[in-house]
Structures are given as structure tokens and as C-alpha cells.
Amino acid sequence: MVIETKGFKILTDPGAYTELQNNIRGIDIVLITHEHPDHFHLDSLHKVLKNNPQAKIITNSAVGKYLKKERLNFLLVEHGDSLDIKDLNLEGLGEYPC
């Protein structure tokens, strides 16, 4: 899903069950909610980042451990955290592992 708000184009959960996200351009943020394959697929993520090298990844520590192995930079947002990027505020909600 792509969300456009406050001048940002946000791609959520680039999963394994579709390839539609792989060719989208102009993505500012890739938001990954959890590590299940329908929400997080490394091959798709690499393709998205190739087409959008400026995109920032925002995720939690469960996904972050996989991103670290791939040497991919990310911004961490956990339950109760918030992150402000210009006029956009993102809040982490959900403290139970999937």
C-alpha cells in the first residue's frame, strides 16, 4: 500500500505476495510493521531501494535485526516511540510480537 500525505510517499510492508511495489518510484519512506513474509520480503525491499535510493526505512527491532545483517540503514520506532520527519509524525503502537 502506498500512502501519500504531507508531501511524503510512504510504501508500507513490501511483502512477498506481490511484485507491484518493486517498480514504484518516488518513495520517501518504507514502513515495515513486522517480519512476516507478507509484510517484509528482502528481495522486494532491495528492488524498492534500488528504484528509490533516497527512501528511509522505518521499522521495529524485530525487522531491524534482519536489516542489520543486510547492512541496511533504518530508523527504529518501537511501541510508545514517536518519530517526527518534517511535518509527519509516526508513532509505534503494538508491543506484542507477531
Q: Please check the confidence at residue 81 and state whether its pLDDT lies above 90.
A: no
Q: What is the pLDDT of residues 20-53, one digit of tens each?
A: 888 899 999 999 998 988 899 999 999 999 999 9
Lowest-confidence segment of 19-23, 32-36, 74-78, 93-97 by average pLDDT: 93-97
Rounded to whole angstroms, how far apart are CA atoms 58 and 55?
10
Q: Give which of 95, 52, 17, 97 is closest to 31, Cα–Cα.
A: 52
